[in-house]
Amino acid sequence: MTDDDNYGDQDVYRNMVDAEDEWTAGTTTTKHTSERLTCQAAAKYVAEYVAEHASPDPDVPLLTSNIIRAAIMKATGVNTAGTFITNVKKLALDLISGTVAAGYQKLHTYMVQLAEDNGGTYSVFETNESNEFTRCFFMPGCFKNSVRCVKSVIALDGCHLKGLFSKSGVYLTASVKDGSHCNLLAAIAIVPQEGELNWTWFLKHLKSSSMGFDENATLFASDRDKGLINAIKVVYPMCWHRYCMWHICLNIRSKKIKLSDTDKNLLYRVADATTEDKATKAMREVRETVPRAFLYLEAIPGGMQHWSTWAINQAGFATYGVKTSNGAEQNNAWLGVLLRASNPVSALYGYMMKLMWKFKKRYDQVVGRRPGGLVEAAKSHLNQQLERSREYIAFELDKGARDVRHIGMFTVRHCEVAATKFTHRVHIVDVPERTCTCGYWQDSLLPCCHALAATKTHKWPLVYLNESEQTLYSRTVFPSLPRDLASEELVKPPSALAHSMKRKCGRPKKKRLEYV
């Protein structure tokens, strides 16, 4: 019986005949009589189909229900049910990506292979007394001694694994930015769960990974996870910790405090304020507009020193305009659901592939630029500040200090500046100390318009030079192919989480907030 025979509307369930390697009609009934065997045969065919027709685009999912339905339709001409496709998908994923156990048995071997092919790589693989996988840490060698090439702000976040590996743990990630504000996922770890113990372990290995950050000038940005807050205090006592403003707004709304978009923008004004006067004025408006949100902000331990720019600058740390941990969130999305649902070997290979293409793309953009010149983002900012600096004129107070008065674009009177009635704003610029009372110079490390009015000669930070990006992106990222890996049979996959951590049966109750 061939595929050309017409059975009308009858459902034909066919089994794979191994000897002849062709599809034959086993049953012509409307009921499924051999679901297990049929699923296995269909999964085998789907796996071969996907391996042959897989898209080279890393953003295209490897296996979807539509791909399975198309593969079975091509082989049999039968349109299958959704539940059958779900079962086939589980079996096909095992054939394509390997089982959960096989993934963890080969992970250590693959991490050793990556370390050999990428010099400077820092990796850790841990098991317990029963040889059961517990956690691992990985930082590619391209980020070794990269402190002069990236900003001294590290965004931390955790995200859950997906699919078959959802009970295997969570990803902990550390993200940085280059001088052009490009996000880079510098370190990644798989741990059982997000907590103080695992965050402390992660930060200790991040400290040992030779990235080269100065503890006295490094700023961490994350949500207000208690375990993470305590871990940073233990591992990096001299560093500063900024709380993500986006998560603070979410926490305020979780307290049943209604925040409109206008109110949210007002809170961001407080977080963005580079001077104490601006922050105090904005907080006064918050108290008048949303008094309950004001009380919540006042109750945050540590006060504004952990979420407002001016207070962080006063502590001696530059934020580079970073007020949220969205860089880490963006990198979680950059990893993609498919990568987070893959076995750890495939996930690590996918991460290295994505990183390689990102480095190649950025290198092609910066390779032809003058090494001593500014990156495009800094150059654009500098041009804007130069235009604004024409509105200002500087008066020398003493050696190195400048008194900059705002006299307006159309009211410049060089001979009458001191007495003009349009003089309404004064800023003190200290060129040797690289500070200005507006606060912008200390926060971004780029001169503000007042500093440019005082002097046009400046020494640019290394992170904003083309040379730094050319040095970083010229480094090799080699995603070793995970083929013919030795399987460490003694290594066991992580056990499922405790029963209390599992998802409960039945329809989940939807929590609705009552705004007051």
Tell me the CA distances in angstroms from 478 to 112, 114, 117, 349, 356, one per residue in order.
13, 8, 7, 10, 7
Give the pLDDT of the chain (516 residues) as one tens digit per residue: 444 443 333 343 343 334 344 444 444 444 445 555 666 666 666 666 655 555 544 445 556 777 777 777 777 777 777 767 776 766 666 665 556 667 778 888 889 999 999 989 999 999 888 888 889 999 999 999 998 899 999 999 988 877 656 666 889 999 999 999 999 999 999 998 889 999 999 999 999 988 888 888 899 999 999 999 999 999 999 999 999 999 999 999 999 899 999 999 999 999 999 999 999 999 999 999 999 999 999 999 988 999 999 999 999 999 999 998 888 788 877 877 667 767 788 888 889 989 999 999 999 999 999 999 999 999 999 999 998 888 888 877 766 677 776 654 333 323 233 333 334 467 888 888 888 888 999 999 999 888 888 887 788 899 999 999 999 999 999 988 876 676 666 666 665 433 333 445 556 565 555 544
Strand residue runs (E) in 50-141: 122-127, 133-139
In this structure, which amino acid lies at residue 43? A
C-alpha triplet 187, 133, 118: angle, nearest 5°: 35
Tell me the CA distances in angstroms from 336 to 57, 143, 271, 274, 354, one per residue in order.
12, 22, 30, 35, 10
Q: Quick check: 137 and 189 in contact, CB under 8 A?
A: yes
Alpha helices in 20-81 (DSSP H): 35-53, 65-76
pTM of structure: 0.76
Question: In this structure, how many other beta carbons lie within 10 angstroms of the beta carbon of residue 264?
Answer: 17
Q: Which residue has the tokens 């691992």?
A: 136
Domain architecture of the chain: domains with CATH = 13-97 (no CATH), 103-244+324-363+475-496 (3.30.420), 376-459 (no CATH)
Tell me the CA distances in angstroms from 486 to 96, 127, 215, 258, one per residue in order.
18, 17, 39, 56
